[in-house]
């Protein structure tokens, strides 16, 4: 990619941000604000029942006596738990955005204007995919980082009141650089894992006459139902291969890094958690060696090429 192409690509990404500022920029900031607000409200309400912060101070002092591994698990786990709210809403925003990414230009007939510019249809499609894979996750990750910092500052205030060192008890166990690094890589790997879903939505958006999100859902759902019916009629068994179930499993497996690595032998008292819970790089990169990942990338390439083909033949009809 030469310099001019790179600049053009960045300009197209900015165009997507300008056209959807609420979904891409203000939504993650709103989520961060709500989490911080609810945390403050919970603290204020808790203070009404905890006169003199006696219970809170005792709990913080007890936490300070826990081993470092336990502190790391609790602090990083709580921060990651707040982050999952961002991840869930981010995925919904990306899915709806991609479903209308190529359809909206045809709907309002602005496709003719964009096709008159010296920008290839391939670059246009890639910029919309890049928005879902790079731009939106980066915006949400920035909001997550801001939320983590504010929550740790609130915890630090309570720690100082309880006579607890917030650096050693909260900030160091949080391992923010490592946690944020794992989340950043996790978002990239998750985007690659979900790329067949993203490419399918863009493919439907490139040709659907209306309601591309419903068409994108209806086609695999209809195929899945026909597979079930045919298998029940022919063999009286459920099908071993079901397109709808495969897509749902793929969508459900695209969870940003969480590796429980639970060891359980039947006794609930002996459940052990891996020390890298919620922040395991091995779990993130483990997706890259799965054969399902590479098959999905090949399918994605075919669907994106088909989306470009339909984009080139788009009209104002």
- Can you name the residues that pair with 272 across neighbouring β-strands? 263
Instruction: Give the model confidence (pLDDT) of 72-88 as tens digits.
Output: 888 888 898 888 889 98
Query: Three-state SS for 154?
Result: helix
- Please report, rounded to a whole number, the percentage of residues in the chain having pLDDT higher than 90: 38
Structure tokens that stand for 141 in this block: 């990750």
Question: How much is the pLDDT for 260?
Answer: 39
Phi then psi dihedrals of residue 239, to 5 deg: -65, 140
pTM for the whole structure: 0.86
C-alpha–C-alpha distance, residues 13 and 9, integer Å: 6
Question: How much is the average pLDDT of 122-146?
Answer: 94
Percent of the chain with pLDDT over 70: 86
Cβ atoms of residues 80 and 289 within 8 Å: no
Tell which wins on pLDDT, 34 or 272: 34
- DSSP for 214-230, please give it: HHHHHHHHHHHHHHHHH
User: Which residue is it, tokens 């964009």?
Assistant: 114
Amino acid 289: pLDDT: 84
Q: What is the per-residue pLDDT across 268-298, written as a single tens digit (0 to 9) for each?
A: 444 444 444 455 677 777 778 888 889 999 9
Band (pLDDT 50/70/90 cuts) for residue 60 is confident
Report the pLDDT value the prediction gives residue 154, as an integer from 0 to 100. Answer: 92
Helices 291-312 & 121-130 angle (0-180, nearest 10): 130
CA–CA gap between residue 200 and residue 210 (Å, rounded) = 16
Residue 312 pLDDT > 70, yes or no?
yes
Spell out the domain ranges in the chain. 18-312
pLDDT tier, 237 (very low <50, low <70, confident <90, very high otherwise): low
Q: Are 121 and 312 in contact, with CB atoms under 8 Å apart? A: yes
177 vs 227: which has the higher pLDDT? 177
pLDDT at 115: 75
At 271 the pLDDT is 42
């Amino acid at each position: 990619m030469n310099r001019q192409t790179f600049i053009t690509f960045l300009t197209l990404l900015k165009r997507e941000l300008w056209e959807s500022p609420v979904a891409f920029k203000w939504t993650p900031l709103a989520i961060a604000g709500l989490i911080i607000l609810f945390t403050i409200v919970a603290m204020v309400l808790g203070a009404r029942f905890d006169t003199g912060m006696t219970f809170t101070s005792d709990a913080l002092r007890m936490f300070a006596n826990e081993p470092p591994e336990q502190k790391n698990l609790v602090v990083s786990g709580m921060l990651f738990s707040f982050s999952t709210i961002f991840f869930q809403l981010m995925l919904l925003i990306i899915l709806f955005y991609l479903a209308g990414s190529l359809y909206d230009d045809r709907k309002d007939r602005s496709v003719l204007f964009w096709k008159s510019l010296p920008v290839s249809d391939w670059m246009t499609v890639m910029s919309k995919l890049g928005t879902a894979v790079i731009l939106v996750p980066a915006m949400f990750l920035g909001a997550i980082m801001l939320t983590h910092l504010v929550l740790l500052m609130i915890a630090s205030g309570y720690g100082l009141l309880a006579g607890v060192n917030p650096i050693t008890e909260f900030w160091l166990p949080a391992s923010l650089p490592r946690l944020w690094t794992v989340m950043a890589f996790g978002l990239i790997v998750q985007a690659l894992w979900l790329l067949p879903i993203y490419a399918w939505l863009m493919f439907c958006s490139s040709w659907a006459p209306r309601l591309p999100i419903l068409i994108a859902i209806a086609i695999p759902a209809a195929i899945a139902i026909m597979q079930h019916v045919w298998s029940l009629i022919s063999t009286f068994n459920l099908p071993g291969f079901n397109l709808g179930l495969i897509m749902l499993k793929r969508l459900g497996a695209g969870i940003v890094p969480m590796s429980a690595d639970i060891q359980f032998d039947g006794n609930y008292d002996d459940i052990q958690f891996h020390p890298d819970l919620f922040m395991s790089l091995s779990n993130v990169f483990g997706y890259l060696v799965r054969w399902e990942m590479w098959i999905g990338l090949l399918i994605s390439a075919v669907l994106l090429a088909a989306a470009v083909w339909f984009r080139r033949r788009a009209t104002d009809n």
